[in-house]
Amino acid sequence: MAGILNTTPDSFFDGGRHDSLELAIAHGMRLWEEGADIVDVGGESTRPGAPPVPEDEERRRAIPVVEALHAAGVVVSIDTRHPETARAALDAGADAVNDIDGLRDPRMIELCAAYGAGACAVHMRGVPETMQTAPEYGDVLEEVSAFLERVALRWEDAGLPADALALDPGIGFGKSLEHNQTLLRATELLRLRFAPRPWYLGVSRKSFIARTPGVRAESDRLAGSLGVALAVADHGADILRVHDVAATLEALTLFRSIRASTP
Q: Is the peptide bond before 196 cis (omega within 30 degrees of 0)?
A: yes
As beta bridge partners, residue 40 has 4, 77
CA 125-218-28 angle, 5° bins:
65
DSSP SS3 for 210:
helix
Cα–Cα distance list, 46 to 37, 42, 64, 75, 138 (Å): 23, 9, 20, 22, 25
* Cα–Cα distance, 134 to 153 (Å, whole number): 30
* Cα–Cα distance, 66 to 61 (Å, whole number): 10
Instruction: Establish whether 175 is a catalytic residue.
Output: no
CB 5 within 8 A of CB 24: yes
Instruction: Establish whether 206 is a catalytic residue.
Output: yes
As beta bridge partners, residue 42 has 6, 79
Backbone angles phi, psi at 63, to 5 degrees: -65, -45
Amino acid letter for position 82 = H
Type and span of the H or E element at 43? none
Buried/exposed 176-189: b ≥16 CB within 10 Å, e otherwise: beebbbbbbebbee
CB 195 within 8 A of CB 187: no
Which of 87, 241, 256, 259 is an active site residue?
241
Q: What are the respective helix, strand and coil percentages of the chain, to the nearest 5? A: 45, 15, 40
Which of 154, 206, 211, 256 is an active site residue?
206
The catalytic site residues sit at: 206, 241
